[in-house]
Amino acid sequence: MTGIIAVTSEGPGMESMVDPRFGRAAGFVVVDLATMAVSYVDNGGSQAMAQGAGIQAAENVARAGAGVILSGFVGPKAFQALAAGGIQVIQDVEGMTVGQAVDKYKRGELTTADAPNAPAGGHKG
């Protein structure tokens, strides 16, 4: 399996929990599926923004070179930005570790979303 995927994460490693928020996620665990090399992108700057966190986070994911993002809830502007960047969005991923999410993805158990699943301005659920 090849490609680079990013997972919104509460911490820097495969054992960290998936952060269900996209725009205001703590960071992204970035996995190169060819080599299973793992790196971490901090998203703290987006967390501190008054507005536009989702757009900023999408830029961060694009800069990391990821073609797929796994997250819990993605809002409309973030979704539009990710789509423009050619990044596939897989949402409703939560309550598991980053490693478990990556395994599910590799087994083909996760499907790509064609629409955002959260309102603008942050998921309130």
Partner 1 sequence: MIYAIASGKGGTGKTTVTASLAVLWDRPVMAVDLDVEEPNLHLFLHPELTGEEPALMEVPVVDTARCTLCGQCAAFCQFKALSVMGKTLLIFPEMCHGCGGCQLVCPEKALSPGGRELGQIVSGHFRTDHVGSGRPEDAPFLMGRLRVGEAMSPPLMRQVKARLPESGAADILIDSPPGVSCPAVNAVMDADVIVLVTEPTPFGLHDFRLAVEAFRPLGKPLGAVINRAGIGDTSVQDFCRAEGIPVWAQIPFNRAVAEAYSRGEVVARAVPELRAVMLALMAQMQGAAAASKKQEADHA
Contacts of 72 (CB under 8 A, 6+ apart): 8, 18, 19, 20, 21, 22, 91, 92, 93, 94, 123
Q: With beta carbons less than 8 A apart as the criterion, state whether 78 and 115 touch.
A: no
x/- letters, 86..125, toward partner 1 (CB under 8 A): x---------------------------------------
Q: Does 51 interact with partner 1 (rule: CB under 8 A)?
A: yes
Task: Show the site string, 58-87: x = touches partner 1 by CB under 8 A, - = not.
Answer: xx--x--------------x--xxx-xxx-
In the range 11-50, which residues lie near partner 1 by CB under 8 A? 49-50
